[in-house]
Amino acid sequence: MLATAVETYLSVRRAAGFALIQPGVHLRSFAAYSQAKGQQYINAQIAIDWARQTPSLQQRARRLGNVVRFARYLHAEDPRHEIPPTVFGSERRIRPTPYILSDEQVHQIIQLAALSGYRTLRRQTYSTLFALLACTGLRVSEAIRLRYDDITPEGLVIRATKFRKSRLVPLHETARAGLERYLQQRRPYAPFDDHVFISLRRKPLRIEDIETAFRTVADKMGLPRGRGRHRPTPHSFRHRFAVRALQNCPDGRDHITRHMLMLSTYLGHSNAALTYWYLEAVPELMQTIAERCEAYVTGGAP
């Protein structure tokens, strides 16, 4: 019974746009565990015992949280399903402090990528990819899924990303010119594959490939670790883009509200809270906020 209910629940939520890959694995495991215990309905103690099988407290909270949401769904129609208490605390992960690359570091990364590895298309692939990430703020996963038809006169079409939403990312004429120069070399290399970025295997790039290429360049540069031993990663290009956009926000409450909404939409965030996170996560932005608050308190403009 629970196994069937799990599949129905996953189908309903996926139809609403949620991928639920890991939660699906968890819930199927929980259903099998409950069945082995002879339970046809969700039992709170069994759910807690199942979640406790993993060593990490955060993992326990996440596993139990998946069962809690599933239990609420079933309990609405059948009160025999118990809703477990969240005994392991919050399942929210603490987001690490973003590593913000400077303009000089971005230029150096792109230049070194153009000189790293064999003198083949690989150099142009990674230097162009890193430059595109830096000037658009794309997620790495979005960049490696780009295809020829996604490059339009209006910009890049980012198709079916998180929550199955698509969006249009404008391209500056210099970025468009750089991308076209790369494509002139790339098209003959793998003519039967229309992915924009490909590996030397003539296949679409994998995230692991990009992380390796970035780490190679970062090590050559001697990029320092950030606070909490946080390393710079390819995602740091996106962090930098978001922070620079916020730093360039015009003054005025109405301007800031519109600016945040537009930036959230541009970045493909599911809600604006993910964009506001940068305000508290980046010391430079917090300093700016503090200075403006102080000016307002002492009689300046808000």
8 A C-beta contact, residue 34 and residue 74: no
The token duo for 46 is 């069994």
Q: Which of 26, 238, 239, 240 is catalytic?
A: 238
Alpha-carbon distance of 292 to 294, in angstroms, equals: 5
Q: Which of 215, 220, 269, 292 is catalytic?
A: 269
Q: Distance between terminal CA atoms of the chain?
A: 58
Residue 255 is among the residues annotated as catalytic for this protein: no
Task: Look at residues 14, 6, 56 and name the one whose alpha carbon lies nearest to residue 31.
Answer: 6
What's the maximum distance between 2 C-alpha atoms anywhere in the chain? 69
Q: Which of 26, 60, 62, 139 is catalytic?
A: 139
DSSP β-bridge partners for residue 169? 156
Residue 276 is among the residues annotated as catalytic for this protein: no
Q: Which of 122, 123, 231, 235 is catalytic?
A: 235
Residue 162 is among the residues annotated as catalytic for this protein: yes
C-alpha dihedral sign at 220, 223, 224, 227: negative
Burial 44-77 (b: 16+ CB within 10 A, else e): bebbbebbeeeeeeeebbbbbbbbbebbeebeee
Alpha-carbon distance of 115 to 126, in angstroms, equals: 10
Residue 14 is among the residues annotated as catalytic for this protein: no
Positions marked active-site: 139, 162, 235, 238, 269, 278
